[in-house]
A and B are shown apart, each in its own frame.
Chain A
Amino acid sequence: MTLSLGRAADSSLEEAGAPQPAHLVDAQLVETRLVAFYFLAALAYLFISMLGGFLMALQLVHINPLRGIELLSPGRWRMVHTNAIAYGFLANAFLGALHWAIPRLTLKPVFNRTLSYLIFVAWQIVVVSTAVGIVLGQAQGLEWGETPVWIDPVALLGLVLVTINFTIPMTQARGPLYVSLWYFMAAFVWTPLTYAMGNFVPEYWVNGTSAGAIGGLFIHDLVGLFVTPLGWGLMYYFVPILLRKPVWSHGLSLVGFWGLAFFYPLTGIHHFLYTPIPMFLQYGAVISTIAVEMVVTTVIVNFFGTLRGSGREIVTNLPIRWFYTGMVFYAITCFQCALQTTMTFQALIHFSDWVVGHAHLVMFGVFSMWLLGIMTYLFPRLLGRDWYSRTLCEWHYWLSAVGLAVMAGDLILVGVFQGFWWGSLQMWDVSVDGSQPFWIVRVIAGVAMFAGLLVFLYNLYMTWRLSTAPAPETARLPAATA
Chain B
Amino acid sequence: MNTPTVTTPAVRRRQLMVTAIMALIVLVPSLLGFGNKFREFILLFRGDVDGVFAISPIMNYLLAALGFFCLFGWAMLHGMFHDIEEPKRHFLETERELDRRLPNPPIA
Of B15, B26, B106, which one neighbours A259 at CB under 8 angstroms? B26
Residues of chain A contacted by B40 (CB below 8 angstroms): 280
A189–B54 touching, CB < 8 Å: no
* Chain B residues in 8 Å Cβ range of A247: 88
- Contacting pair B81 A176 (CB below 8 A): yes
* Complexed CA–CA distance, A265 and B5 (Å): 36
B17-59, CB < 8 A from A: 18-19, 22-23, 25-26, 29-30, 33-34, 37-38, 40-41, 44, 51, 53-54, 56-58
* CB pair B33 A477 closer than 8 Å: no
CB-based contact B15/A252 at 8 Å: yes
How far, in whole Å, are A478 and B105 apart by their CA atoms in the complex?
Answer: 9
Query: Are A178 and B88 neighbours in the complex by a CB distance under 8 Å?
Result: yes
A278 touching B106 by the CB < 8 A rule? no
In the complex, A13 Cα to B92 Cα: how many Å? 22
B77 at the interface (CB under 8 A from A): no
CB distance A266 to B67 under 8 Å?
no
Does A252 contact B22, Cβ atoms closer than 8 Å?
A: yes
Q: Is the interface of B mostly helix, strand, loop or mixed?
A: helix
The contact string, 1 if C-beta is below 8 Å from chain B, for chain A 168-205, is 00000001111110000010011001000100010000
The answer to whether B103 and A19 have CB atoms under 8 Å apart is yes
A85 to B34, CA, bound (A): 34
Q: Which residues of B contact A281 (CB under 8 A)?
A: 37, 41, 54, 57-58
A25 touches B103 (CB 8 A): yes
**In the bound complex, do residue B54 and residue A210 qualify as a contact, i.e. CB atoms below 8 Å apart?**
yes
Does the CB pair B18–A252 fall under 8 Å? yes
Interface centre among B5, B16, B30, B86 (most CB of A within 10 A): B30
Selected contact of B98 from candidates A104, A217, A250, A265, CB within 8 Å: A104
Question: Does B91 lie within 8 Å of A269, measured CB to CB?
Answer: no
User: Is B10 an interface residue, CB under 8 A from the partner?
Assistant: no
Whole-angstrom distance between the Cβ of A338 and the nearest chain B Cβ: 13
Chain A residues with Cβ below 8 Å from B92 are: 240-241, 244-246
Q: Once bound together, how far apart are the Cα atoms of A251 and B44, in whole Å? A: 39
* A159 at interface, CB cutoff 8 A: no
B33 vs chain A, min Cβ distance (A): 4
- A151 → chain B, closest Cβ, in Å? 23
B25 to chain A: which residues have CB within 8 Å? 294
Contact A283 B81 (CB under 8 A): no
Tell whether B8 is near chain A: CB-to-CB under 8 Å.
Answer: no
Give residues of chain A (258-280) contacting chain B, Cβ–Cβ below 8 Å: 258-259, 261-263, 265-266, 269, 277-278, 280
Q: Given the complex of chains A and B, what is the CA–CA distance between A23 and B106 in angstroms?
A: 11
A186 to B30, CA, bound (A): 21
Known pairs A294-B26, A476-B106, A477-B107 / 14 extra A-B pairs, C-beta < 8 Å: A2-B97, A180-B91, A213-B56, A245-B2, A245-B92, A249-B85, A251-B85, A262-B68, A266-B34, A278-B54, A281-B37, A281-B54, A287-B30, A294-B30
- The chain B residues found within 8 Å of chain A, CB to CB, are 2, 5, 15-16, 18-19, 22-23, 25-26, 29-30, 33-34, 37-38, 40-41, 44, 51, 53-54, 56-58, 60-61, 64-65, 67-68, 71-72, 75, 79-95, 97-98, 101-108
